Amino acid sequence: MTLLSIEDLKVHFPVRAGQFGGRKALVKAVDGVSLTINSNETLAVVGESGCGKSTTGNAVLGLAPSTGGKILFEGRDLSLLNAVERKHVWREMQVVFQDPVAALNPRRTIAQSIAEPLVIHGYAKSKVAARVDELMDLVGLNADQRDRRPGALSGGQRQRVVIARALGLNPKLVICDEPVSALDVSIQSQILNLLMRLQRELGLSYLFIAHDLSVVRHIADRVAVMYLGLVVEEGPTEQVFSQPIHPYTEALLSAIPLPDPALRGKRKRIILEGDLPSPLDPPKGCPFVTRCPIAEARCSSDRPQLVTAAPSHLTRCHVRAPENTE
Amino acid sequence: MTLLSIEDLAVNAGALSLVDGVTLDVDPGEVMALVGESGSGKSLTALSVMGLLGEGLSVDRGCIELDGADLTQMNDEALRTLRGADMAMIFQEPVSSLNPLVPVGAQVAESLIVHGRAKPGEAMAQAIDMLRRVGIPDPARRATQLPTELSGGMCQRVMIAAALISKPRLLIADEPTTALDVTIQAQILDLMSVLTAEVGTAILLITHDMGVVAELADRVCVMYGGRVVEQGPVGDIFANPCHPYTRMLLRTLPRLDEKPKGELFAIPGNVPSPLDWPEGCRFRTRCDRSSNICSTRPPLEGGIHRTACFHPESVPS
């Protein structure tokens, strides 16, 4: 069943550009993104900085203003809800951010931080303490850490606190924005295992925003690759990783150094030239045309559509997945 | 002949020990990776070499020799003649490491002028040539621009150009690609290995990314809790890790090139802070092989492949 459905979402920010800020311009951070997440499913959104993956997550949470398109949660259009209804929907959607240090109030105890959403959403006072204990146990925190402050915890423990806080109101969807990027390597897999176990036990859905593709391959059911505000490829994780269609996905996968010195020099690597174009002045046709190794003439004039290139595997490329013009 | 040799280096913050007896060496032209998690002491080791330890931090014991001269005994002035000339450093954050008010060409040319190797006009010509070699398009125009007018990847190229322009014998690279996107990281790693090979510069590469290590390093030094736990040729470290920490670290990485097999292997516990490092082996509280003897400090033993462990996974070859 579809839990979240994003339809042609646009998030455009007006900015002042030019040398003295005199020229008005539009940053199209997200420029027509459609995605769906089913219940108990993990959809990963990947891409490099500036591709719009975090803005997409923020728009779902109401933290970035959507300037076009629709966001439907359990079939209800979020933009049409009144304040009371919206508060109710927000209980079902929670977020885990990248940096647990910034996400926790340093002056509150762990128990206070975890209790806060419960209090805001009118949880019976007598039950809050028991619920906090239950949540701490669920995410693997010791009860004796209740009255500690974030400063006394390690990075991994702090992220467990953030996860406990997100789960207090039994959400259906958790938006995880780079949840392990700020953690030490030896701690990352603890948190990933925790997220996977919680999904099994509580039937959660994740919108998993990440740039580390090794992590994504492990945790996601489906993956969407974004570039300059557009989805360029989307499909089941194993298919996208083993048979990428879009040249950007291919380059992204091949650019990741693998922890195996025996493969050095033996892997085919595509090293892209140049930088991401400025989002103030994106290419007219395909967003990837300025760096694409297989671009053709029409790629710089016509924007390719997202088409089905293989079963449930979509891509946006004139060369690899031409549209049916008939 | 060894280029850089660090013997029993210890760095303290007041009474608190942060680096405790690090021994490693770098040969001319080789890439030595210094690997560890936050708090392992890898960056402090590098900053000690450059003589750039921050306020309140001091080298407590040990010696650091570059070409046989002990850097820990040198005064600031003597170190200044080496920095930028014989040894150079690039940092993680290219944008904050460059002076925002000085055009990038002048920043690249600076070390040539400061060390009296070229007159300003000649230095600028060399700087533009260097910018071209690090892959900056239209280098003459870019040289007049400020760092804010360049992307993060471009700024990192500028830093590399500034570091390599005086052909240093040692380049210390502290997480040089961590702040960059992966397609830009691939460009920068490629560039670093090509340019240093041309000049014969050795690299002390500080990183937490085992992928980058496997890609670039000749030898690896693994640090944990302010100490070296294992050291050896890159092939041996990955194929035959001796220290339980190294073995667990390699097992815990999700692999891009493998189908997931359920739960990831996780190292139990947390990375301890220097305030609660255990007595003896500092990994023993998270280790599955520890015994009573581990409460005494294990010595770093072996030949080219060495480890500091009483119960190694296998004997170093």
Rg of chain B over Cα atoms, rounded to whole angstroms, equals 20
Share of chain A above pLDDT 90, in %: 75
Which residues neighbour B225 within 8 Å (Cβ) at sequence distance 6 or greater? B20, B39, B40, B41, B272, B274, B277, B282, B283
Which residue in chain B has the smallest CA separation from A249?
Answer: B183
Q: Taking CB atoms and an 8 Å limit, are A276 and B257 in contact across chains? A: no
Q: Is B295 on the interface with A (CB under 8 A)?
A: no
Q: Nearest CA of chain A to the CA of B112: how many Å?
A: 28
Enumerate residues 44 to 73 of chain A having a beta carbon within 8 A of any beta carbon in chain B.
48-49
Q: Nearest CA of chain B to the CA of A79: how many Å?
A: 34
- pLDDT band at residue A325 under the 50/70/90 scheme: low
- Examine the pLDDT at A60 and tell me if it is beyond 80: yes
Give residue A72's Cα distance to chain centre. Answer: 17
Enumerate residues 237 to 296 of chain A having a beta carbon within 8 A of any beta carbon in chain B.
238, 241, 251-253, 255-264, 269, 271-276
* pLDDT score at A140: 93
Rg of chain A over Cα atoms, rounded to whole angstroms, equals 21
What tens digit of pLDDT does each residue of B67-119 get?
A: 999 999 999 999 999 998 999 999 988 888 999 999 999 999 999 999 999 99
Partners of B205 in beta bridges: B33, B173
* pLDDT score at B235: 96
B286 vs B77: CA distance, rounded Å: 44
- pLDDT band at residue B181 under the 50/70/90 scheme: confident
A26 vs A11: CA distance, rounded Å: 10
Share of chain B above pLDDT 70, in %: 99
Q: Nearest CA of chain A to the CA of B69: how many Å?
A: 34
Q: Give the nearest partner residue to A189 out of B185, B266, B273, using CB atoms.
A: B266
Mean pLDDT over A230-239 rounds to 96
Ordered DSSP codes for B243-277: SHHHHHHHHHSPPTTS---SSPP---S-PPPGGGP
* pLDDT score at B261: 74
* pLDDT score at A266: 87
Q: Taking CB atoms and an 8 Å limit, are B256 and A252 in contact across chains? A: no
A54 vs A60: CA distance, rounded Å: 10
What tens digit of pLDDT does each residue of A22-31 get?
A: 777 888 999 9
What tens digit of pLDDT does each residue of A79-132 get?
A: 899 989 988 898 999 999 988 989 999 999 999 999 999 999 888 989 999 999
What tens digit of pLDDT does each residue of B5-22 get?
A: 999 999 999 999 999 999
Give residue A97's Cα distance to chain centre. Answer: 10
- Examine the pLDDT at A296 and tell me if it is beyond 60: yes
Q: Using an 8 Å Cβ cutoff, are B208 and B289 in contact?
A: no
**Which residues of chain B neighbour A293 with C-beta distances below 8 Å?**
none
* pLDDT score at B104: 96
Q: Taking CB atoms and an 8 Å limit, are A48 and B256 in contact across chains? A: no
What tens digit of pLDDT does each residue of B226-283 get?
A: 999 999 999 999 999 999 999 999 999 988 888 887 889 999 888 888 888 999 999 9
Q: Is A184 on the interface with B (CB under 8 A)?
A: yes
Q: Is B238 on the interface with A (CB under 8 A)?
A: yes
SS (H, E, C) B190-248: HHHHHHHHHHCCEEEEEECCHHHHHHHCCEEEEEECCEEEEEEEHHHHHHCCCCHHHHH
Name which of B213, B257, B259 to mutate to probe chain A: the one with the most chain A Cβ atoms within 10 A of its Cβ. B257
Structure tokens at A236: 């089941």
Q: Which is it for the CA torsion A245, A251, A256, A261, positive or negative? A: positive
* pLDDT score at A326: 43
Q: Taking CB atoms and an 8 Å limit, are B256 and A256 in contact across chains? A: yes
B261 vs B264: CA distance, rounded Å: 8
What was the ipTM of the complex prediction?
A: 0.85
* pLDDT score at B183: 86
Q: In chain B, how long is the greatest CA-to-CA distance? A: 66
